[in-house]
Amino acid sequence: MRKKIMGIVMSLVFFSLIFMGHISILDAADPYVIGYLSDITGDARHNYAPDSEGFRVYMDLVNARGGINGHPVKVIIEDGKSEPARSAAVAKKLIIEDKVLAICGLGFSRSQPPVLALAEKEGVAVITGYTGIGGDIYDCKPGSINFATGHNMNPDFHTSAYACARFIQGVKPKGSTVAITGFATPGARFWRDLQEKWLKDMGFEVVYGEDIPTDTVDFSPWVNKIAKISPDIYYAIEGSTQVIPQIIALEKMGYTKDIMIPDFTPEGDFAKGIKRVVGNGEWILWGGRWASAYEDLPAMREVQKALEKFGHQYPLSARHFNGWVIGRIIEEALTRAGWPCSRSKLITELEKTNVDTRGLTGGPIQFTPTDHHGPSWWKVYRWNAGKKALVPAMDWFKIEPKEIAKKYR
Amino acid sequence: MQFLISVIILSCVYAMLAAGFVVIYKSSRILNFAYSDMAMLAAYLAVTLTQLVAGPPIIALSICLVMGFILGVAIYALLIKPMAGEPIFSTIILTVALGIVLNAITILGWGGEMESIPFGWAQYYSLPGGVRVAGTEFIIIITTIIFFIAIFTFYRFSKIGKEMRATAENALLASQRSINIYFVTAFAWGIGFFATALAAILIGGNYQVSLNLGHVSIKAFAVALVGGMDSVGGIIPAAFIIAATELVVSNYINPRLAEAIPFIIMIIVLLFRPWGLFGTEEEIERV
Amino acid sequence: MRDIIAKSAPKSPYLKTSVSNDMVIQAFDTPFRKKCMAFGILIVILFPFMASNYLIHIANLIAIASISAMALNLLCGNAGLLSLGHAAFMALGAYSAAIMGAQFGMPFWVVVPLSAIVGGIWGLIAGLPSLRVKGMYLGISTLGIHYVIVYVLSEYQFYIGAGFGIAIADPKIGPFSLSTEREWYWVLCMMVLMCGIFITNVLRSKPGRAWIAIHNRDLVAEIMGINIGYYKVLAFVLSTSIASMAGCIYAFYTNVASLTEYSFGLTISYLAMIIVGGMGSVVGSIMGAFLITLVPFALMYIVDMLGITGVIKEYFFSVQSGIFGLIIIVFLLVEPLGLAEIWRRIRDYFMLWPFRYKPLTITKR
């Protein structure tokens, strides 16, 4: 009997200790709390996890230098697993429990709508990284929560479709034939549709456009057709898991004219994929908004040093640079905001952003109260077998938001 | 002609994937939902082994296959045998949970990047008739043929094979004839995981090793069902039918529909011959 | 000595002496149980005033999951018909909420019953194969129906141009709008209660008895005169209508109807809920939903509490899902019949305690 009572008392003490550990002792220097929501174990984790790593090591560096305005920055990284339900629950945790000032990153496009709806309800700024689907981005009301630093894939403001059409315009002469394929998801279908319209406007001939289901093992139907049609350039709106086997199958069928892919293939996967190509691979082009890690710039070496100091899992890639610059944006906004900072104050300060990226993308990231996207710079690279690296095929070109806003809608 | 070769290669892939399912179902009547995660783990393991072990890749791959076999036996001994006699549903959910654990181990160990398994034979051959085949595709066809011949002879002629067939039919009577049913079932699980690892290596070598490797196993499940869940011989014609239909629809009709084709065939077969083309007939309800 | 103990024990409330006493739902039949239920209801009512919005959100998710799990348990646990298409029926409910609620602007209290009717119609279609096949093959045919429904809905979603899910506004009941977690909590608790009582009563009436008979030996049930075709399809229709309602409410709660949520993996997690909870019991579904929904959040909390940050936290995300799988494995190895079985054993242990109650007759020596 006594043993039972002792057992009950001990378990009560144990559980209350667990719950009391939740009470934190307030420091003299309270931290700024920023949340980062990403797909760290989801389907496309090798694309989204490096974003979070870039952001994390930049904030670790800032904290090592003494923080912002004398206060440290607490970064809470949570995993959305590419599932809408889980992303929404985790976003609720960040907003309600951890009381973050802003949420950065966001994951796969299908898991974003509930998070964006929730953030809008609570007035929390959302700075999307790699992909964003927010609509209220350009010509928006001041105080809108959406900010974008990467691909924006909302049908009203689709930067990627226009940019990739401009890529093709930059490397191929007018009148060339183009084939485009994409994932069979609604988001990729929109992209392909819009890109075809842009290309037709620019004077190119789109001879083949098709969707490929996401779980395909054998690409021979599409590969055979493309090899037969033999367009001058083939654009694949797909991730590395599909595009690399396609490139290899196309090479087998004898198609080695230009193939262009977006920056959905991080440098680590790209290097491994190139090793499997039998030829020299110089027909492969890769383009996006952030500079490739193959360009050895001083800013990139800085990122590499920080990654090695604070620990990382993925090799250096353009994704890290994206996260790094989001860190810079937050740092500048918080420095201007001072202490204490509220969510709406942070949004006001973010609307004055002007961050010099020092080569990580072609120009500065600029936000204004009515333009939460700003001008963006894009670049395309070609694989060079001699240097074993991606070398620029075209220099940075700038896209102003008004060139794309609400076209084709 | 190229089309025919594509069909043959795809049906070999499906057949290899379905073999793992069928062997396990035949011996223990359990739907193994840990299949896709097991395949992913085996593929990533093969990648690491080929990097670590010097010499021709065949040594590293054999080690990977042996490890797959041992893992199958271990899973049977630790997880399935204690659940013998409990409702089948619980065991099936156990395999689901096992799949989650294997998935977590894979992500923990390899971070989810894309890899490929080098066989050391990356050549493209031009055959007469305008057909182009890759070296790795030859390996797939040859391996599938060898594997199925081996499995056939094993089941038919070897002592353990006959014991496995006896246990699958009626475990109680088999045990009365002094067959060690636990050893035999463990062996069957080992072979099932061996086949899974082999299929994963073939896919990894020819296509790529990534997180989506397992998603294709749903189609293999359809293949196993159409051929008969407990018939190893039925896999090959079923795989051929499904692969052929899928590629025909993909090429000539509508690629998006091709994703649903294995399931449509499955439903059609279920309506008319629920036990598959070559499975053993079971009691079918008629109202 | 034994007689003295026996005579001094209180009269057993478990020995019912009239038919109307016997028909009371087991949760309320004795005074002790009534007190426990009152205490439980008190906790449920006080909970939202003491907990943060995040915890109420988790409770709401558990409530919706338990409604859906009860529907699945009705089909798989009681009637014994394996159904692998559960997620598709929830998707039907969600999309009926999207189409009828967001696009045609019908009010909430009209859409929910309508979504049940939509689910019921598709359940009729899904139930027809049960007249011919059974066991695992029935499961496969429901899986086929799942893919058909998902394909139709995805084509519709693309057709209306909503690439990433259809947004739904907060529902309004009269002048009240359900927007905060706490308001939803009351509504959902009531729905769980109504659903639980409804299913318990159905199980105690004619269809319930028919399902027990069919589950055990359907050949014998048919010989006895039970129309098994009718009752099997009835099980499907009931289960899918409730699942559809659960999906509809879920879409209203999360303000979005997105198709990728309703995958085969969701069906598997609901199956895990009912198996871990205990097949065939209403309380089991609720307990299973509680456990499976709560464990990932609890793991996140533990990771936070241990103060894990940095690159190690990246590794810990996969460790979390691994531990989740391990918990289920260990649980199933220890008690394959689920939480309800553990609950029954505890209850029986106390009920059968020797000399706890006065026996009906005391033998004279």
Beta partners for A210? A181
Confirm whether B89 is domain-assigned: yes
Confirm whether B282 is domain-assigned: no
pLDDT(A207) > 80: yes
Instruction: Identify which of A209, A199, A194, A201 has the alpha carbon closest to the alpha carbon of residue A168.
Output: A199
B254 Cβ neighbours under 8 A, 6+ residues apart: none
**What residue type is C153 in one-letter code?**
L
The Cα C338–Cα B237 span in angstroms is 41
Contact indicator for C28, C37 with CB cutoff of 8 Å? yes
Strands A389-399 and C172-173: unpaired
The Cα A278–Cα B123 span in angstroms is 8
Instruction: Please give the sequence-ordered ranges of beta strands (E in DSSP) within A92-229, or none if there are none.
Output: 102-105, 125-128, 131-132, 146-148, 151-154, 157-158, 177-183, 205-212
3-state secondary structure of A36: strand
Q: Is A113 within 8 Å of C163 when comparing Cβ atoms?
A: no
Residue C46 main-chain phi, psi, to 5 deg: -75, -20
Domain boundaries, chain A: 32-150+295-374, 159-288+379-404
Confirm whether B251 is domain-assigned: yes
Name the architecture of domain A159-288+379-404: 3-Layer(aba) Sandwich (3.40)
**Chain A residue with minimal CA distance to C61?**
A89
Instruction: Identify which of C162, C165, C161 has the alpha carbon closest to the alpha carbon of residue C91.
Output: C165
Q: Is B251 within 8 Å of A213 when comparing Cβ atoms?
A: no
Q: Is A114 within 8 Å of C255 when comparing Cβ atoms?
A: yes
Q: Is A184 within 8 Å of B122 when comparing Cβ atoms?
A: no
Q: Give the total number of structural domains in chain B.
A: 1
**Chain B residue with minimal CA distance to C322?**
B101
On whether any CB of chain B is under 8 Å from the CB of C228, the answer is yes
3-state secondary structure of A329: helix
ipTM of the complex: 0.81
Among C317, C333, C341, most B C-beta atoms within 10 A, so best to mutate, is: C333
Q: Is the pTM of this model over 0.90?
A: no
Tell me the two tokens of residue C63. Answer: 């409530």
pLDDT(A327) > 80: yes
pLDDT(B165) > 70: yes
Q: Is A155 within 8 Å of C161 when comparing Cβ atoms?
A: yes
Using CB atoms, which residue from A52, A92, A117 is nearest to C256?
A117
The answer, yes or no, to whether the previous bond of A340 is cis (omega within 30 of 0) is yes
| CA atoms within 13 Å, Cβ hemisphere of C234 | 17
Residue B86 main-chain phi, psi, to 5 deg: -85, 165
Cα A93 to Cα A67, A79, C175: the distances in Å are 25, 11, 29
Task: List alpha helices for A74-219, DSSP H.
Answer: 84-92, 112-122, 159-171, 186-201
% of residues, chain A, pLDDT over 90 = 9
Using CB atoms, which residue from C76, C147, C325 is nearest to B97?
C325
A339-392 pLDDT, tens digit each:
888 888 888 888 888 888 888 888 888 888 888 888 888 998 998 888 888 888
Strands A177-183 and A205-212: parallel
Contact indicator for C67, C285 with CB cutoff of 8 Å? no
B213 DSSP assignment: G
Residue found under tokens 């006959």 = B162
The Cα A347–Cα A126 span in angstroms is 9
Instruction: Identify which of A270, A297, A276, A285 has the alpha carbon closest to the alpha carbon of residue A360.
Output: A297
Query: CA Rg, chain A, in Å?
Result: 23
3-state helix, strand, coil in chain A (%, to 5): 45, 20, 35
Contact indicator for C180, A96 with CB cutoff of 8 Å? no
Contact indicator for A50, A39 with CB cutoff of 8 Å? no
% of residues, chain B, pLDDT over 70 = 92
Q: Is C336 within 8 Å of B266 when comparing Cβ atoms?
A: no
DSSP letters, A232-290, are SEEEEE--HHHHHHHHHHHHHTT--SEEEEETTS-HHHHHHHHHH-SS--TTEEEEESS
The Cα A166–Cα A153 span in angstroms is 16
Q: What is the pLDDT of residue C207?
A: 93
Q: Is B107 within 8 Å of A45 when comparing Cβ atoms?
A: yes
pLDDT(B287) > 60: no
Q: What is the largest CA-CA distance in chain A?
A: 90
The Cα C184–Cα C195 span in angstroms is 16
Q: Write a three-state SS string for chain C.
A: CHHHHHHHCCECCCCCCCHHHHCCCHHHCCHHHHHHHHHHHHHHHHHHHHCCHHHHHHHHHHHHHHHHHHHHHHHHHHCCCCCCCHHHHHHHHHHHHHHHHHHCCCCHHHHHHHHHHHHHHHHHHHHHHHHCCCCHHHHHHHHHHHHHHHHHHHHHHHHCCCCCCEECCCCEECCEECCCHHHHHHHHHHHHHHHHHHHHHHHHCHHHHHHHHHHHCHHHHHHHCCCHHHHHHHHHHHHHHHHHHHHHHHHHHHCEECHHHCCHHHHHHHHHHHHHHCCCCHHHHHHHHHHHHHHHHHHHHHHHHCCCCCHHHHHHHHHHHHHHHHHHHHHHHHCCCCHHHHHHHHHHHHHCCCCCCECCCCCCC
Listed range (A74-78, A351-355, B43-47, C6-10) with the worst mean pLDDT: C6-10
Q: Is B96 within 8 Å of C332 when comparing Cβ atoms?
A: no
What does pLDDT average to over chain B? 82
**What residue type is A288 in one-letter code?**
G
Tell me the two tokens of residue C5. Answer: 């103990």
Domain A32-150+295-374: give its CATH code.
3.40.50.2300
Contact indicator for A140, A159 with CB cutoff of 8 Å? no
The Cα A108–Cα C260 span in angstroms is 11
Cα A307 to Cα A271, A304, C120: the distances in Å are 20, 5, 55
The angle that helices A84-92 and C228-254 make with each other, rounded to 10 degrees, is: 40
| CA atoms within 13 Å, Cβ hemisphere of A273 | 28
Q: What is the pLDDT of residue C359?
A: 67
Instruction: Identify which of C24, C30, C135, C149 has the alpha carbon closest to the alpha carbon of residue C90.
Output: C149
On whether any CB of chain C is under 8 Å from the CB of A33, the answer is no
Residue A42 main-chain phi, psi, to 5 deg: -85, -160
Domain boundaries, chain C: 51-334
Q: What is the pLDDT of residue A2?
A: 67
Residue C309 burial (C-beta neighbours within 10 Å; 0-12, 13-18, 19+):
middle
A239-270 pLDDT, tens digit each:
777 888 888 888 888 888 888 888 888 888 88
A186-245 residues touching B, CB cutoff 8 A = 210-218, 220-222, 224-225, 240-241, 244-245
B208-267 pLDDT, tens digit each:
777 667 677 777 888 888 888 778 888 888 889 888 888 888 777 776 677 777 777 877
Beta partners for A390? A383
Q: What is the pLDDT of residue A341?
A: 86
Q: Do domains A32-150+295-374 and A159-288+379-404 have the same CATH topology?
A: yes
CA A324 from centroid of its chain's CA atoms: 11
Using CB atoms, which residue from A43, A241, A254 is nearest to B132?
A254
Contact indicator for C76, C274 with CB cutoff of 8 Å? yes
The angle that helices A318-337 and A45-64 make with each other, rounded to 10 degrees, is: 40
pLDDT(B285) > 50: no
**What residue type is A144 in one-letter code?**
S
**Chain B residue with minimal CA distance to A46?**
B113
- Give the DSSP H/E element, type plus range, for residue B148: helix B135-157
Average pLDDT along chain C, 365 residues, taken 10 residues at a time: 68 75 74 84 88 88 95 91 91 89 81 92 89 79 86 80 70 74 90 93 92 89 91 94 94 84 87 89 91 90 80 81 88 86 86 74 63
Q: Is B114 within 8 Å of A269 when comparing Cβ atoms?
A: yes
Q: What is the pLDDT of residue C362?
A: 60
Count of other CB atoms within 10 angstroms of residue B252: 10
Using CB atoms, which residue from C158, C297, C313 is nearest to A186?
C158
% of residues, chain A, pLDDT over 70 = 92
Using CB atoms, which residue from B13, B133, B247 is nearest to A221?
B247
A135-154 pLDDT, tens digit each:
778 878 888 888 888 888 88
Q: Is C311 within 8 Å of A311 when comparing Cβ atoms?
A: yes
Residue A144 main-chain phi, psi, to 5 deg: -65, 145
% of residues, chain B, pLDDT over 90 = 10
pLDDT(B25) > 70: yes
Using CB atoms, which residue from C57, C162, C256 is nearest to A92?
C57
Residue C356 main-chain phi, psi, to 5 deg: -75, -40
Confirm whether B287 is domain-assigned: no
- Domain C51-334 is found in CATH 1.10.3470: yes
Residue A36 main-chain phi, psi, to 5 deg: -130, 120
Q: What is the pLDDT of residue C162?
A: 65
Cα B76 to Cα A224, B184, B194, B229: the distances in Å are 44, 11, 13, 19
pLDDT-based confidence at residue A21 (cuts at 50, 70, 90): very low
